[in-house]
Structure 1
């Protein structure tokens, strides 16, 4: 067992009752859903993962948390959730590019307009709950309206001085230290959290280390005005490889890593500030304004970017291969800096009985300005230990770019209530300016040509879109509604995908779709809540990474028309809520996703590889039958990569007099890693079928009711089942058996 770690946190953070407080109309922060009652007013699929859900499961990563939501596919990568890969309803999860991630309604990604890729995730310990919204109500948020909105809600500050201390440690170098304390401050309320954790993750020769500080203050400026200020700092210093492994390497050592500790390193620093002001006016009018800024610096030094590079400069005579990895073989530094800021204001107007026209409801109007600036460099070093972030490195400066995206956006959404029926139309407008400057790079350094530009080039591009949506709810009975809607799915292209290195434009359209859904949710009987949804996503042009369409690059390509159809089902049950038991609560939950259709719906040309030295024309197995390798063919009708047909998360448990125990089963069906839908695995491990899997998790805790301490234990992947989660850069294994033990002490 690793050493035990320490956590301090305000008890209010662990109380589910904070859900109602956060949803208070006086809260100046932007809320996506609110509380459970608010779900009965939303014309779209929605879910809330509460603090109680997180504690009962003793989640280790954000992936563990989001698997509790139907329709969401969180794919593991390094085993800690540090770089989330989240897909929704059959969409590719790579880097969560088709999902809008928010924290208290503020963009969490560092470049949601110009490069919506996730290389950072804050610790879950600092959140009170997670909101997930899909469907027509998404038009209130942007720019991504394709898959869904995931909003992480920070808790309210406590009214009195409160704190909590926890100790936690486990196998695979598992270590966690959280500290949270709060109470009255300068006429208001505030709390501070500190979180440090480390883990080896899923593979050998890895050690990921994170430190996070977060502060939040709340002040009532008057009876009708509130102010919330937040500040955060995050730091990561990890030994972690970017590349997966080949088929042969995986067979020899499934959790192996050919790059030793110190060979590949990832460092990141993130700073964030935000202010939210709420003003409740007369006649049901409220105004909320938020301003935010964040800076994200990321350096990833690596000696391989995928399983075909052993290492990346093995062809260099000075390197000569893996035997010289830690001496004369060079490395590549992918160095990124992001500055993001924005201001958004929203006004909510009550209809006051439709101004005499016989209907009630409200209208929300919002406008936002958002600006993001990227500096991207690639610096190649001659030696394994080279970590100099400048052109003086002998390997040379290979990339030197400035990418900017600025956007004005606005929306209006109204709710018109006619008795049991509510009709909810809305529309969003996005106007985006893209700019790219390609700065000169070194022509010849250390005797090696850089292959880059010798003169500066620049280019600009503009994009405007109107994103409509309309939904409806109907009260079937007390606490049960039917809902449905249709909206335009939209995601802007990345800056680099619409402006070339020479400054010209690229014909890569925005990602567009029409999304439909129809469902029903509510309390069927006392103590039993259910939600069932049928959905369709019809894409005019879906953008997919080349690396999951049969290539090895990071370029995005147009997949043309695609079609997604399926259903989701969620269930929660509690014997105490049903009135069947008093001191003992038998509880259960389930989230199931079925996506029978996720296919290419128009002509797409692809080539099946010839495996293990086979000649062109040799037949290879695919999901649709044998095809000839090495010959271009139309893969229309094939399954989209990384889209499992079935996802399941189910748990049962018992809570009695301070004891809680839960058993959880998580699984997914098989999926393909490429557009050809290969069944055998290519030698590099990057293409071929990924088998389905099922694992079990266990969580136990005990603390005397109203006591000051609690002990807990968890085991994820109890039977240590070996799984594969990704092939895009080579084979990556799933999370191994992970055990954690801990104790919490409250003030």
Structure 2
């Protein structure tokens, strides 16, 4: 490990967390923090549900940020990706401008297809594959989520490979209270419709939650941008007796979407809303289920087992030659399954309070991929030109113990072992390939609380990220005796969380991700790039100048650079140096109800899509700088009795911008212009 002076660490203070919004963690909108009021800005008492861990943010020796259900409703957020814009240091790359395929990067890591972030459901269940584009084509509907947790710092030990920058934990809603039901509908620009209905309840022994979501629209592109999705999510839980709990959850999802593709520089200048891909179409189906059993052995010992599986079918048809004479079908079936067995113990050891987590995890998936070439773009048929099966098996074990030396000081060491085996069978050539890798990673966390209103924490961890399966088994590397080594890094962070007075809440943190070996991707091609360094400061500030008013800002100043080779000193692809959100919220009684007004602006700094940091754009739009952009948004909510109405306007200044370039898909991908949605909701109380 490279030695790192303490002074250097503090010079790049890392940051985070705490969202200065009132926590709303139940479907009914019931506040769950004792003594909380609509005007309290501190979230330090919010419980985080990470893997095997239920702890309050203020007591965690790592950086945590939360976007809760109340924020989601008040801001009119339509997708997980849009919510992620509120997280310090998160770069959101909307692949098609409709929120259907979000790309999220944390701490300067590439957001493309979520290749560098782990996305979990309820702390344990992976949203996507084991270690290959973890959640590239699907995200849970935002309406089914209680909150979104982003956990950084010591995350590699609890969450494994792929979580160097952090992990996104999607906490789903659970049934609470008497039987209830609610429904909402939003309509807006470009024939957009978002309809949602849910029912839930809990009688003390049995609880249930079911949600249906329908999204559809024409998209802002003038053609080939229509889409519709259907999503059914459910969870049923039961307390079998005083020591046994069982929960069953599942999800069914379908997507039918035209994909407008990219634009050349001239096409973007002439009409950024146009599409030049008249035949591209994406179809998807997803089915998932999970069973979780929890056994309380005694007052200090618990055992839990989660078993999960999902099937994802993805058919993407596109005119790869852009000649309007041919069609390529990229067809994939992906089976994923696994189990997590976990033991938790809270007791005293040598007179000290301890909280121990020991876990075993198995993940397995198989990707069946077929490519079909046809000569009629209107017919989804043709000759098979490619057919492979790629199985992946992952075995992991981890242990972490939180030791309290006093009520002011705690130390949290952790260790994880990961073994990954990739295989590939090419049915067209008869070629079989395989590779495997294994690693031990560790983390250490410190938390010091000199007074109740102030905490300082620090983490040191070893990071590990294997290449995604298609890159690890690329015949062009393996066959030629070359291979892509896994990324490894030494990670450091230090931060503070404080509420010095009741009307001010501050989080500040700084981090260093020191990569010994970095992988980069350009145009779908992966390569070894040697050493790289990510440094940054993240912050979150909430101020309540008077009752009903809240001012807030979140952001990051960061720099991710190559540290050796021909590109030494250049920025890594898709690593903006500035990310900033500034907003204001006003809440007041109005007539028989309550009025809530939010205005916020997000700024994303300049980025590059290549290691050379090419400034001048290529004519085809596939290469060049990605200019900075601002998105100004406004939302109005009025709630009375069981009713609610809303109005949301995004990109009020109608800024023309794009988030990424990809030469394979035809160039640059424009972002959405001004969009306006109006909504109506109703909740039934029994």
User: Could you tell me the TM-score, scaled by structure 2's length?
Assistant: 0.89
Partner SS, residue 428 of structure 1: strand
C-alpha separation in 2, matches of 1:601 and 1:184: 55
Q: What corresponds to 1:726 in structure 2?
A: 660
* Distance change in 2, residues 1:67/1:476 (3 Å): farther
* Distance change in 2, residues 1:745/1:214 (3 Å): same
Contact 2:173 2:209 in 1 (8 A): no
Q: What corresponds to 1:681 in structure 2?
A: 617
Q: Does residue 387 of the first structure (1) align with residue 387 of the second (2)?
A: no
Q: Does residue 399 of the first structure (1) align with residue 386 of the second (2)?
A: yes
Q: Does residue 717 of the first structure (1) align with residue 680 of the second (2)?
A: no
Of residues 442, 454, 457, the one that matches 1:483 is 457
C-alpha separation in 1, matches of 2:251 and 2:272: 37
Query: Offset at 1:735?
Result: 1.9
Q: Which runs of 5+ in 2 are unaligned?
A: 1-23, 35-42
Contact 1:662 1:699 in 2 (8 A): yes
C-alpha separation in 2, matches of 1:515 and 1:424: 15
Q: What corresponds to 2:513 in structure 1?
A: 537
C-alpha separation in 1, matches of 2:467 and 2:611: 21
Q: What corresponds to 1:666 in structure 2?
A: 602
Q: What corresponds to 1:651 in structure 2?
A: 583
Q: Which runs of 5+ in 1 are unaligned?
A: 1-9, 315-324, 441-452, 548-553, 604-633
Of residues 366, 379, 382, the one that matches 1:373 is 366
C-alpha separation in 2, matches of 1:717 and 1:497: 37
Q: What corresponds to 1:50 in structure 2?
A: 68
Of residues 441, 445, 455, the one that matches 1:471 is 445
* Distance change in 2, residues 1:114/1:642 (3 Å): closer
Across the aligned residues of Structure 1 and Structure 2, the Cα RMSD in angstroms comes to 2.2
Contact 1:81 1:121 in 2 (8 A): no
Q: What corresponds to 1:167 in structure 2?
A: 185
Deviates more, 1:113-122 or 1:724-733: 113-122
Query: Offset at 1:281?
Result: 2.3
C-alpha separation in 2, matches of 1:486 and 1:186: 42
Residue deviations 1:654-678, cap 9 Å, x none? 1112110010111111111211112
Residue deviations 1:75-119, cap 9 Å, x none? 222122211110111111111100000111234443132443511
> Structure with the greater relative contact order (CA < 8 A, sep ≥ 6): 1 or 2?
2
Of residues 404, 429, 438, the one that matches 2:426 is 438
Q: Does residue 635 of the first structure (1) align with residue 575 of the second (2)?
A: no
Of residues 480, 488, 510, the one that matches 1:512 is 488
Q: Report matched runs for 1:92-107 at 5 Å.
A: 92-107=110-125
Name the structure with the higher strand share: 2
Q: What corresponds to 1:337 in structure 2?
A: 333
C-alpha separation in 1, matches of 2:121 and 2:453: 29
C-alpha separation in 2, matches of 1:494 and 1:284: 39
Query: Offset at 1:69?
Result: 0.9
Contact 1:44 1:135 in 2 (8 A): yes
Query: Offset at 1:361?
Result: 2.2
Query: Offset at 1:293?
Result: 0.4
C-alpha separation in 2, matches of 1:459 and 1:11: 47
Q: What corresponds to 1:411 in structure 2?
A: 398
Larger Rg: 1
Contact 2:293 2:305 in 1 (8 A): yes
C-alpha separation in 1, matches of 2:450 and 2:204: 49
Contact 1:665 1:697 in 2 (8 A): yes
Q: Does residue 183 of the first structure (1) align with residue 201 of the second (2)?
A: yes
Q: Does residue 587 of the first structure (1) align with residue 556 of the second (2)?
A: no
Of residues 417, 420, 423, the one that matches 1:429 is 417
Partner SS, residue 95 of structure 1: helix
Of residues 506, 509, 530, the one that matches 1:560 is 530
Q: Does residue 122 of the first structure (1) align with residue 85 of the second (2)?
A: no
Contact 1:32 1:131 in 2 (8 A): no
C-alpha separation in 2, matches of 1:110 and 1:522: 36
* Distance change in 2, residues 1:534/1:685 (3 Å): same
Query: Offset at 1:495?
Result: 2.6
Query: Offset at 1:602?
Result: 1.0
* Distance change in 2, residues 1:340/1:366 (3 Å): same
Q: What corresponds to 2:563 in structure 1?
A: 601
Query: Offset at 1:64?
Result: 1.8
Deviates more, 1:113-122 or 1:217-226: 113-122
Partner SS, residue 540 of structure 2: strand
Q: Does residue 223 of the first structure (1) align with residue 242 of the second (2)?
A: yes
